[in-house]
Each structure stands twice: as structure tokens, then as C-alpha cells.
Amino acid sequence: MSKIMIVDDNVDIVETLKTIMEMEGHITQIAYNGEEFLKKVGKLRPDLVLLDVMMPGIKTKDILIKLKEADLDDIKIMIISVVRFSEEEERILMDQYKIKDYVTKPFDVPDLVARVRNALL
């Protein structure tokens, strides 16, 4: 049983991901924006974060930089977003910020579950 933190400003997406992850036996934690996430992540220490890219407030890149500055960049991150990056942008994002995976919305539930399992290895 892993702790998975869901970070998304869309309540429907959060509830959907929460239900899916809990059905898989995971403990879920939630943040609705980057600032809330950064306040909680150090205390909660999730095994994996499902992080949206397009949220109001702090940008995702800045969230990842702040994690590194706080020595929390060992926390596994999976990006889940409607934003579609080029292969080059995706490679840079994954290499530079140690992103475990990148899933686009709308997502296929069995595929997402398999990718979460793989990211947790």
C-alpha cells in the first residue's frame, strides 16, 4: 500500500483519481494547487505524486525547482495533464526533473493504473 498525492485544481479529476487509487489499495492525499502541495509534501512524504501541469498560481516547473531546493526531489512524480509535449520537451522534462512518467488527459484507467504501478517500483 503506497501513499499517492494527487495535485490538481479540477475537483472532478481529483475525485476520479482518488477513487481509482483507493480501489487499487493506495492511501491518497490531496492538494488543489501548487502552494498547497508544497506546504504538505514535506510532512506527508508521498511515495508518488500525480501532478497536473496547468494550475493557477505557481508553475509546475517552479514546483519541481522548489522540491529540489527543499531536498525533496527524491519523491517520485508522474505528470498528468491535458498539455501535450513534443517528444523532445517530454524527454527534457523527465530527465531534468526526474519525472517518472507523463500521462495525458483524458487517460485510459487500466493504462494509468499500470503506469502508476510501474512508477512505484
Nearest to 51 by CA among 32, 68, 71, 25: 32
Domains of the chain: 3-120 (3.40.50.2300)
Q: Model confidence at 54, in pLDDT bands (50, 70, 90)?
A: confident
92 pLDDT higher than 80 = no
**Which whole number is the average pLDDT over 48-68?**
90
More confident position, 86 or 10? 10
| Contact present, 98 and 77 (Cβ < 8 Å) | yes
User: Do residues 34 and 62 make contact, with C-beta atoms less than 8 angstroms apart?
Assistant: yes
Q: What angle do CA 119, 20, 110 make, to 5 degrees?
A: 65
Question: Do residues 7 and 50 make contact, with C-beta atoms less than 8 angstroms apart?
Answer: yes
